[in-house]
Structures are given as C-alpha cells and as structure tokens.
Amino acid sequence: MARRRVGRTMRSQSVLPLRAGHRLPNSLSCWFCDFRIYAFNDRLFSFGWRHARFLKVWFAIGVAFSFVALIGSIMILLWELAGNFHLGREISVHDHRSVNWLFGTTSLVPGLSLSVMDTVIIVFSTLFSVAIHELGHAIAAASTGLQIEYIAVFLAIIFPGALVAFNYDLLQSLPRFSMLRIYCAGIWLNAVCCAVCGLLMFCLPLLLSPLYIHDEGPMVLEVPPVSPLSKYLTRGDVILSVDGANISNSYEWMKNMQEVDSRKRNDPYSAQNSHSQAVNHGKGYCVPNSLLEGSMTLLADDQFSCPDELAAFTSLSCYNSSSLIENRNGGSENNNGGSENNGMETKHCLIAKDVIKLRKCGDGWLMTGKNNCACSEEESCMKPVLIPSMSWVEVSYSSPYTPQCSKPNERWQLQSYESGLMSCGGTFVFLGDILTMAHSLQLSSYRPRLPFMIFSAYIPVLFEKILACTFHVSATLGFLNSLPVFFLDGESILETGLCYITWLNTKCRRRVLQFCLVGGTLLSTIVFLWTFYCVLVIHN
C-alpha cells in the first residue's frame, strides 16, 4: 500500500517526513523506518520540467478523474455497508462482488495455496504499481517546478508503503490547482496503468497468435497429485466439453462448472429425495430396453448399491408428455421422474462407461437444443442415482500432444467408441464436489501450434497473470488512495478541494475535513474487515 503525506496546514501535523535537511540514507524510530532514494531526483525533475506544458494538461485530467473516483469510492463503500447490514438473509461471499473484484479475491479457493510463481508475480505487480503511483507524484511536482527531496520506501508499525517527500514551504506556496495536480497524479497514473493492462490483455490473443492457438479448448498445464482428476488427465490434455457443452477456454470451464453446481443445489428433486439417495432428475441416457431387461434390478432403497464397475440408474420420465410410460418390470413411470412398482423405485445396475457412450436425454445437460423426450420407442431415458452431496459431470478430452497423436494427419482424428476408448482422448464421469474438482486443475486458454513447443505452454499464462495481477493491484492502490481516510492521498485531495468552498471559513473547513476523514476511515475499516472475514472465514 502506498502511503504519503506531503503537506498539511501546519508543519507540526506532518506524520511522515516532508523535507530532508541532510541526505540521510534512512531513518529509524520505534514505529517508523524508511529507506531513502536520491538517485532519481535530477532526472525526474529534468523530465517533468522539459515537458511541463503537456504534463500540466495531462495531470489536470487526472484531477477531474480523482474527484470522480473519490465520489465513486464513497458510493461503493456505502453500497457494501448496506449489504453487510441487510438483515434476514444468509451471508455469502458473493455479497461483496465489487470489493472482491477490486482486490482480486473472487478466485480464492478453500484449501488451495499460492505457488511460488504466484507469490513472485504478486510481489512484482505490487512493486511496479507502487512505483507508478509515486512516479506520478514526482513528475507532476517537477512539471510545476517543485524539486522532490527524495523517494522513500517505509514501514510504519507493520504497514509497508512508499512516499515522495517535497520541500514543505515550496509546496504550500504553489497555487491550489497545482497542488491538486500533484496529489491526484498517483491515482491518475494507477488508472492509466489499469487501462494499459486491460488493453494488453484484450490484444494478447492477437499478439500471440503466430505461436499459440486461443479459445479452442483449455489445455491442462498441471494436475496436482491431490486433484480428483489426477487419474484421468495429464499435462497437455485439452478439455473438449462438459456435459455435452463445448468448452473454448478456462473461463468457460469455470462458468460451466459453477452452473452445474448451481443446478445441483437448486434441484428440488434432490431435496425431496434427501432422506435416502437423491436422483439427478435432469441428466439421462437413452438406454436400449434389451440392455435393461438383462441388467440387475433393485427394488428396495436399502439395496441400491450395485456391484463394482456398475452404477445404479432409474427411469427419467418425459416432462412434456402426459402419458405414462410402461415400465419394463410391470410398473409405471410418473411425470416426476420416478417409477412406481408396489411403492418402490426400480433401479438398474448398468456399466457406466458403456452408458455414457449412449445418446443423452433430459433437461439437466448444459448443451442446448435437446429434446427431453429424445429417446426412441426401443429405448428408455435412464438417469444416474446419486446421494445429495454428489454430482454427475461428464467430461470429454483429447490428447493432441502425445507421440501417437502429434502427427498432423492424426492429431485430431478420434476413433469411434467401438473399442471403448478414443485414440487421442476419451470421456469420463466425475462424481463428487464439482467446484473443488474444477479449481484443482491449472488450465490455459492458449495452446502451442506445434507439438515441440509444449514446453512453452506456461508463457501465455505467465503474461496473463502478470497483467491481471498488475491490473488488480493498481486498481486497488488507486481506490485506496481516493478514499477520504487519514494518511492517504484522499486526505490531501479533500483538504485542498475544500479550500474552493469560499463560503466556509477556516474553522468550518477543518471541522468538515475531520468529519469526512473520521467517517471515511471508520467506514473503510468496517467494510474491508467484514469483506475479508467473509472471504477468508465464512467461505472456508
């Protein structure tokens, strides 16, 4: 977090150093220490003074942006505070989408820790964003003819930060709008940094197109040994579809998994059958009647377990049909997806790996345009029997970078299911917690065009992470400094801005300033602490 205090109405109010009588390399006290840098003073002043005419206009735009950001940040905090105290509803981590998105906490997953590379990227992005912020203050000051004293990296108690120190007397002698340009420059450059990162992320597929394919299926970069998919997927595999819906990139992978999980949680049929085992009412397969007649049949709920390699299936009625379908065991199926045979459900033990090769039916699949009653008269729509905490997800993948599939004429050639497997891929069914499974994979929306470039598969992901992390950190830095709180740029901006309200005397302006700063600091503290509590505690 960047923190700076460049000037107040009285010199005794300054908390951080404003000027240096002697060029000390650092300062140390019981609660504050810093490391001062003098090497860039002359270069920054020379650059700012040489381009002063353009920079004054440039940072004047930043003043307007900063006041809009000041009002917007207050509105965001009030919105989040209202959500925190909205009674009569369950607390959810998604209640703080705006702040979560800003801090980049929407991707936090319980049980998963940051890798060494992720930590390095976060540190680099933070240092770069802080440097951009302080560079804005220094160049804006130089454009007005104000020489900086030094740039410092400090630690106040346990809070790290950076500052630019100016000559206090010269700073106070500047016109108010020149002071605003200096105070608002850091926020403005952070906003510009966010815009540049966003533009580069948008253009990244085009820039990498000569070497990488984009949005043609997410590629698996890493499958940790603890992942539930470690037995099915390996590095270099490409995910093709989930529940019959094609997957183009890693974003669609997570989006579809969240949709499947949401359907499972909101499934009324699952809740109604929670006393024994829940039936995933929407997902079915068109099983030939001859196969059902030769399968093992279970009638009682306490006998629903099938032998190894077999899975329990039950009939799925056609919801758009008012007629009852004759049951193969002398019973009948109703329109609620169950079957009646002397008051007991009829279940069939079938080989799951053979069933998933059959045509799909039911309305629970992610693919669109499918008829609920797509089975012929010689087939029955059968759905898997699951316990309430489990979900049935069908995942198809290919392995284009394996030696037997890397030849150009064989890369995407998939055999039929006659042998039970595809030559360059396959399909498997996952049973369990979908979101944990989805987050356990490290995926990339980019794939190398040539097989021998598989070693470079991490490069696009590295670029994406650096740009995304820099975007979030820079946005967070600008947001925090636009807040009307003590010790940040918002305090100086608000104090100088109040001077333009001429009908307020000095005493009233000081009271208004203190009221805004105290209220803004308390509001920010409450919202941030509650948000991080929801993300780190309630979500876990």
**E strands, 209-283, in order:** 212-222, 238-242, 245-246, 278-279
Here the tokens at position 270 are 């699952």
Residues in contact with 279: Cβ distance below 8 Å, sequence separation at least 6, in sequence order = 269, 270, 273, 314, 337, 338, 383, 384, 385, 386
Angle separating helix axes 489-498 and 506-533, nearest 10 degrees: 150
Angle separating helix axes 458-482 and 176-208, nearest 10 degrees: 160
Distance CA 318, CA 80 (A): 45
CB 258 within 8 A of CB 494: no
Distance CA 489, CA 493 (A): 6
Identify the active-site residue in 80, 90, 134, 379: 134
One-character DSSP codes across 168-185: HHHHHTS-HHHHHHHHHH
Is 464 tagged catalytic? no
Here the tokens at position 122 are 């976060």
Beta bridge pairs of residue 213: 447
Rg for the chain, CA atoms, rounded? 31
The H or E element that residue 339 is part of is strand 339-340
> Catalytic amino acids?
134
